[in-house]
Structure formats: structure tokens, C-alpha cells
Amino acid sequence: MLNCKEVTRLVSESFDRQLTLRERFGLRLHTMMCGTCHLFRQLQERIYEAIILCGRRDSSESTEPPLPDEARTRIDSAVQTAITNRSGTRKLDH
């Protein structure tokens, strides 16, 4: 019978590859008897679900902070410089 260490490893891997029949059976048997591993698996599934629903959503709905003003000014001036340089050297590119 698998121990908890092996089972958590299988739970992790189940997100990244198809487990074999034997592995799935061992996992099921263990989590039927071990509440901690059962909850570990459930928690991993919930975390994964939350990331798909919220973590992967479009940036325009993101709760992350906006670009800080100081960085905005700095980046904008780098962009304007790059535009000027580009129009200056454009003919040399080809």
C-alpha cells in the first residue's frame, strides 16, 4: 500500500499526466482511508479550479494593481525615445 508521501506525489502528477490504472487504484484506496490525503487532493483540485477561473482571466478583469505612475512616466519616455530613434534609422534598416 502507498504511503502519504507517495500519494501526494501522485496527486501532484495527476495534474500533469494521465496516471496509470494501478496508480489511480492505489490513490483511491489510500484516500478512502486517509482523511489528510483525501483533503490534500480536494484542496489541490480547488486551487487548480480557482486558478483557472480567476488566475487565468483576462487582465482587464484582474484585481492586480495598475502600472505605478512613476513607472508609467519612465516607460513612456523610453517608448517616445524609441519611436524617435526608429524613425531616424528606419531607412538604414534595409
Partner 1 sequence: MDETGTTPDVTLEPSQWVEAYGDYLYRYAFSRLRDGNAAEEAVQETFLAGIRFLDQFSGDGSQRAWLLGILKRKIIDHVRQRMRYDRDGAGDTNPDFSGDLFDAKGFWKPGAAPWSNTPDSPLEAEELWAIVRKCLETIPKGQADVFVLSVMEELAGDDICNELEITPSNLWVRLHRARLGLARCVGSKWAHSAEVSEYVE
Pick 20 or 36: Cβ nearer partner 1: 36
CB 10 within 8 A of CB 27: yes
Pick 24 or 74: Cβ nearer partner 1: 74
Quick check: helix, strand or coil at residue 93?
Answer: coil
Residue 79: exposed, middle, or buried by beta-carbon count in 10 A (0-12, 13-18, 19+)?
Answer: exposed
Pick 22 or 94: Cβ nearer partner 1: 94
Interface positions with partner 1 (CB under 8 A): 3-6, 8-9, 11-13, 15-16, 35-37, 39-40, 43-44, 46-51, 53-56, 59-60, 62-68, 71-72, 74-76, 78-80, 82-83, 86
Give the ranges where 1-94 is alpha helix by DSSP (H). 4-14, 21-33, 35-50, 69-89
Minimum CB separation of residue 21 from partner 1 in Å reads: 20
How far apart CA 19 and CA 10 sit, in angstroms, is 8
Pick 67 or 92: Cβ nearer partner 1: 67
Minimum CB separation of residue 72 from partner 1 in Å reads: 6
